[in-house]
Amino acid sequence: MGAEIHDVDFAKLDPADEETRAEIRQAFHDNGVIFFRNQWLTPQQHKAAAAILGKFDKHPIVKGSEDHPEILVVTRLPNQPCTFGETWHSDNSYLDEPSLGSCLYGREIPPFGNDTLWSNMYHIYESFSPGMRKMLDSLIAVHSASRAFANDSKEKAAKYAGDGPQKYQVSEWLTRETEHPVVRTHPVTGRKALYVNSMFTLRFKDWSENDSRPLLEQLFRYIEQTPEYQVRFRWAPGSMAMWDNRCTQHFAINDNHIHKRVMARITVQGDKPF
């Protein structure tokens, strides 16, 4: 799970160098998440790096940069609580066609803490007993952004009012629900991966939330508490991570409240899970 790639400088990578781009895509598929160090990138160069994976999403709720709306600048100020990416999730699984991948670049990094964890959903699924896999294969899950982006607190209301470093906008996706298979098949590797997450999955189709909760909580705990299927990345200025949302989940560790942290994220368009 995870690989760190050296000797690639995205600021100097020739757009015509398809051999290097193909190697990066292969490493992405082989490892689920790939990491790069010492990347000193402009927003345009960040976009050129992310474009190796495909065309960009535009977040329907969180506003992107004014000059580059495809880029979400995620800023956490000193003494401000973390409210973005602080639970296990796969980016934008509430969309009909969830994000294929994400490319996160560290612009301003604290001297310690705020690492990110990724978990391998192939290995999580494959570790279940045959009976468990058979049951999960038959289920459909309902996903929604309604809880993660709810306007139900003073702090969240401020974001919708345009206050603070992160600005939200009202969207139809705040109330919509989307159905995806609990186990999805990766369109490139052909492998099966668990596809429910604690941020966006509400319940199983044709099940009540009460009936769904015990099994969902069991799955969420297993993802969280199985470190042998995880990788932990220690950020530094100029670091970048690219990950596959179809077969991984990630979690931003909120253990440093005293330093400013600025990250820039681009998500890449995906397709309907099957």
Q: Residue 162 has what pLDDT?
A: 73
Q: Who contacts 177 (Cβ-Cβ below 8 Å, separation ≥6)?
A: 94, 142, 143, 144, 146, 202
Which residues sit opposite 16 in a β-bridge?
none
Antiparallel, parallel or unpaired: β 3-4 and 33-36: parallel
Mean pLDDT of 96-114: 96
CA 187 to chain centre: 18
pLDDT tens, 28-40? Answer: 999 999 999 999 9
The pLDDT confidence band at residue 153, using thresholds 50, 70 and 90, is low
Kindly report the average pLDDT of the chain as a whole number.
94
Q: Residue 268 has what pLDDT?
A: 98
pLDDT above 90: residue 166? no
DSSP annotation of 82 reads: P
Smallest CA-to-CA distance from 253 within 98, 110, 62, 91 is with 110
Q: Token pair for residue 24?
A: 């990066």
Domains and CATH numbers, the chain: 17-268 (3.60.130.10)
Mean pLDDT of 62-75: 92
Smallest CA-to-CA distance from 197 within 229, 179, 168, 220 is with 220
Q: Residue 83 has what pLDDT?
A: 61
CA-CA distance, 84 to 28, in Å (whole number)? 24
Mean pLDDT of 95-100: 98
pLDDT tens, 106-121? Answer: 999 999 999 999 999 9
- Residues with a known catalytic role: 89, 91, 250, 265
pLDDT above 80: residue 146? yes
Q: Residue 81 has what pLDDT?
A: 65
**Model pTM above 0.75:** yes
CA-CA distance, 16 to 163, in Å (whole number)? 42
Q: Token pair for residue 232?
A: 């932990």
pLDDT tens, 230-260? Answer: 999 999 999 999 999 999 999 999 888 899 9
CA-CA distance, 247 to 90, in Å (whole number)? 9
Which residue matches tokens 């995870």? 2
pLDDT tens, 189-244? Answer: 999 999 999 999 999 999 999 999 999 999 999 999 999 999 999 999 999 999 99
Q: Residue 168 has what pLDDT?
A: 86
pLDDT above 80: residue 272? yes
Q: How many residues does the chain have?
A: 274
pLDDT above 70: residue 82? no
pLDDT above 80: residue 155? no
